[in-house]
Amino acid sequence: MQTATAPQIQPDYENWNRRLNSSWSCADYARIGVTLQITGEVLAEEADFTPGSRILDVAAGNGNASLALARRFCDVVSTDYVQPLLDKGRARAEAEDLDIDFQIADAQNLPFADNEFDGVVSTFGVMFAPDQPKSAQELIRVCKPGGKIALASWTSQSFVGRMCSTIGSHMSAAPGFKAPANWGREEWINEHLAPSSSSISIEWKTYNFRYRSAQHYHDFFRSYYGLCRKAFEKVGPEGEAALTKDILNLVEEFDNAQDGSVCMPSPYAQVIMIKSDDA
């Protein structure tokens, strides 16, 4: 007697994307984004794009990598699907008199032609797109053969990876949910990116989250990190204390500061690949 197989639930990526857009838009993530500027500088420096190269920044947020590349005289198109973040990036570019083209775009369906860019980058952005394989293919599709794709993605055991898990434990995951930190797994990189490369390097780096205290971190992220704000709305007053406790415990677990402040090291994967001619 054959056992019936339960039908697979197809993820509703469109609805999920709308929900994520609402989360990113409900708070001023740019206040957090600017603290990560060094990661954009490191990626831009080590990707070593030639000045004059046309570069696409995908899920650029408020423009850390975009600004870093423009400072190196690349022709940058900075994209995100959250308009307020693009507006913050544009204001930063104008303050430095940098010429950057800012456009609304969804990482899962980029509005650009095949092989259009000399390089494609994303720092902690494309990893949050719901349809991960499709997003990876979009990065590859718009990059020219022989062009570079450079990414920075949190690992599952990083502070951010664990923070996402902590927040998620207080909320119900959407059907078909895949952890954003998959992009920081070597196995995932080898499955979805490496086959389209003529060469690929994975370097493990660390960013340090520095705040005045554990409570300062908690309050700052609750105010400005949309996913965290949505989690507190979801749990309501009855679940607030438990979520706060879990966040503070995680900070204590990672903190290595010795001076009364907090410093949480968060490893990430920096990937730089060359797109193969036949990809």
Q: What is the pLDDT of residues 150-182, one digit of tens each?
A: 999 999 999 999 999 999 888 876 667 789 999
The pair phi, psi for residue 111, each rounded to 5°, is: -85, 50
- The pLDDT, as a whole number, for residue 20 is 72
- The pLDDT, as a whole number, for residue 5 is 53
Domain positions in the chain: 13-156+173-209+271-275
3-state secondary structure of 104: strand
pTM above 0.85, yes or no: yes
Confidence of residue 19 (pLDDT cuts 50, 70, 90): confident
Helices (H), the chain: 13-25, 30-33, 37-47, 64-71, 83-95, 132-142, 159-168, 186-192, 214-224, 226-254
> What's the mean pLDDT in 6-15?
62
Q: Is the confidence at residue 189, as pLDDT, over 80?
A: yes
Per-residue pLDDT tens digits for 69-92? 999 999 999 999 999 999 999 999
Confidence of residue 1 (pLDDT cuts 50, 70, 90): very low
- 161: exposed, middle or buried (C-beta count within 10 Å: 0-12, 13-18, 19+)? buried
Per-residue pLDDT tens digits for 259-269? 999 999 999 99
Q: Which of 144, 139, 136, 142 is nearest to 191 (CA)?
A: 136
Q: Which of 125, 186, 150, 127 is nearest to 41 (CA)?
A: 150
Q: Is the confidence at residue 10, as pLDDT, over 70?
A: no
The pair phi, psi for residue 252, each rounded to 5°, is: -60, -40
Say which CATH architecture domain 13-156+173-209+271-275 belongs to. Answer: 3-Layer(aba) Sandwich (3.40)
Angle at which helices 83-95 and 13-25 cross, to 10°? 50
The share of the chain scoring above pLDDT 90, in percent, equals 82
- The pLDDT, as a whole number, for residue 93 is 98
Confidence of residue 50 (pLDDT cuts 50, 70, 90): very high
Residue type, 6: A
Q: For residue 3, what are its two tokens?
A: 């056992």
3-state secondary structure of 206: strand
- The pLDDT, as a whole number, for residue 6 is 47
Q: Is the confidence at residue 114, as pLDDT, over 70?
A: yes
